[in-house]
Copies of this chain bind each other. A is one copy, B any other.
Amino acid sequence: MCKLPFQETADGLDAAFVGVPIDTGTSNRPGARFGPRQIRVESAMIRAYNSWTRAAPYESLKVADIGDVNVNLFDLKDTCKKIREAYREIVATGCIPLTLGGDHTIAYPILQAVAERHGPVGLIHVDAHADTSDMILGEKIGHGTPFRRCVEEGLLDCKRVAQIGLRGSGYSPDNYEWSRAQGFRVVEAVECWHKSLVPLMEEVRAQMRSGPVYLSFDIDSLDPGFAPGTGTPEIAGLTPIQGLEIIRGCRGLNLVGCDLVEVAPAYDTTGIDNKWRKTTTTKSKN
């Protein structure tokens, strides 16, 4: 990843890239199991410095790629167990996991491990979908339900949750009612149209305060014109510029983990959204 060294475990690292190559929680088009591989290949073009933000993350932090979690492609519940255990080991070392997904189901077992160490966390959730359904196609575990499960288990500090970029049609008159009822801040995509998100992120930073924060970034938050390589595209989404504004807007937060999920390279015949990668810019906390 990013021409960083590879090492077997998270020992001694400030942050570590980890792949979770599954798509068996996907309800529509699968393919996100190849997300980690493709993001790594494409990341070879990223260099050490960003001239605008003056970030130099690999100077201020010790970062490595620690490979993929071992998953069970034929049993999603067993996969969740394996992910939780792997992340327990990672966070136990004090390392911040930077996850390459994988479908959004994985946020649930990752947050189980993260909250076990840090207590209930704040969440910045960037996505086209709220992923707070109770059930998905008759099941409790899947890529449409992770944050419902997290709330039920007390993994989130609900007053410090922001969901950004939500849109699309739904199964009920108000898809986001449940989120609001938990105390989440919901920022629908329509509220982001034609705007810089710098002011929004000021408010989000205020909302997050100094507690631990997890950033979960679903690539389908972006408009499919910019990021077609995903399973459940929805039109009229965020721009890559707004995506960068969100990520850079996290500067100064107490980030304890982040993920980039739902990257399904097969649907991107041009390769353009592989260009979109989690820039680690914001993680240099000074």
Q: Does A33 contact B (CB under 8 A)?
A: yes
Per-residue CB contact flags for chain A residues 12-33 toward chain B (1 = under 8 Å, else 0) read 0000000000011111111101
- B194 contacts A139, C-beta separation under 8 Å: no
5 contacts between A and B (CB under 8 A): A30-B30, A31-B31, A52-B167, A236-B239, A267-B271
Q: Is the CB of A226 within 8 A of B228?
A: no
A206 within 8 A of B: no
**When A29-B266, A224-B275, A226-B223 are in contact, do A173 and B139 touch as well, CB less than 8 Å?**
no
Residue A286 at the B interface, CB < 8 A? no
Give the chain B neighbours of A29 by CB distance below 8 A.
Answer: 31, 34, 266
* B142/A74 in contact, CB under 8 A: yes
A188 to B223, CA, bound (A): 23
Contact with B along A250-286 (1 / 0, CB 8 A): 0000000000000000111111100110010000000
- Point out which of A47, A142, A272 has the most chain B C-beta atoms below 10 A from its C-beta: A272
- Bound-complex Cα distance A196 to B166 (A): 19
**Least distance between A163 CB and chain B CB atoms (Å):** 12
Q: Is B224's CB under 8 angstroms from A46's CB?
A: no
| A137-172 interface with B by 8 A CB criterion | 137-139, 141-142, 166-172
Q: Are A139 and B74 in contact (CB under 8 A)?
A: yes
The interface bits of chain A over 96-127 (1 if a CB of B lies within 8 angstroms of the residue's CB, else 0) are 00000000000000000000000000000000
A180 to B173, CA, bound (A): 42
Complex CA distance for A48 and B170, rounded to whole angstroms: 6
Min CB distance, A129 to chain B, in Å?
A: 11
Smallest CB gap from A270: residue in B: B228
Closest-by-CB residue of B relative to A173 is: B49
For A236, list chain B residues within 8 Å (CB).
239-241, 243-244
Asked if A35 is an interface residue, CB under 8 A from chain B, the answer is: no
Over the window 190-226 of chain A, the binary record of Cβ atoms lying under 8 Å from chain B Cβ atoms (1 yes, 0 no) is 1001111000000000000000000000000001111
Please state if B272 and A225 are interface contacts (CB–CB under 8 Å). yes
Within the complex, what minimum Cβ distance (angstroms) separates A235 from chain B? 4
Set of chain B residues within 8 Å of A37, measured between Cβ atoms: 41
Q: Are B272 and A228 in contact, CB atoms less than 8 angstroms apart?
A: yes
Query: Are A175 and B31 in touch, CB under 8 angstroms?
Result: no
Q: List 6 tightest A-B contacts by C-beta distance, closest first.
A: A225-B226, A30-B30, A47-B169, A74-B139, A228-B270, A51-B175
Give me 11 other A-B pairs in contact (C-beta within 8 A), A194-B194, A194-B196 excluded.
A23-B30, A24-B24, A45-B232, A47-B168, A50-B169, A51-B173, A51-B188, A54-B173, A74-B138, A225-B227, A269-B270
- Within 8 Å of chain B (Cβ to Cβ): is A131? no
Contact A49 to B175, CB < 8 A, known contacts A193-B241, A267-B266:
yes
